[in-house]
Structure 1
């Protein structure tokens, strides 16, 4: 892990198009700003881990095709 010291209003760059700026320090909290292309997803780590776990669970589930047909009122192709 790379550890950098920054003062308020100083930034670091990740690659050519992601900038992380230290905005404010209050007590034990640090507020940062992230400038990145909209195509780059940005999540808090706890949310990211939750998404990953839900994706793993969804990938392991079998799909009940008949239940889906009934839910959407369709009878399928004949």
Structure 2
């Protein structure tokens, strides 16, 4: 696992494998021990909160009623986020 420290307004860019469409994770706000992040990803990349995981139907695709917008703000985030005085 890669652990990075980011300040409010900073971003992390991940290659999505889709030409010209990286996954961008932005630190939107840090307040009271909570971090709000924004995730921008191609429509072909499913983004969902762990507590809302669902079983994929046979074939491994998302249900037709489930759509993933290209930019999502996910809250709350309590996973592997470490706030440090320095940045990586």
Instruction: State the TM-score bracket (shorter-chain normalisation).
Output: 0.5 to 0.7
Unpaired runs of at least 5, structure 1: 56-78
Bigger Rg, which one? 1
**Post-superposition shift, 1:32?**
0.3
More helix as a share of residues: 1
What is the aligned partner in structure 2 of residue 6 from structure 1? Answer: 6
**Post-superposition shift, 1:46?**
1.1
What is the aligned partner in structure 1 of residue 52 from structure 2? Answer: 47
**Post-superposition shift, 1:14?**
1.2
Distance 2:38 2:25 in 1: 6
Unpaired runs of at least 5, structure 2: 17-21, 58-88
User: Which structure carries more relative contact order (alpha carbon 8 Å, separation 6+)?
Assistant: 2
RMSD: 1.9
Distance 1:14 1:29 in 2: 23
**Post-superposition shift, 1:20?**
0.1
| TM-score (norm. length: structure 1) | 0.60
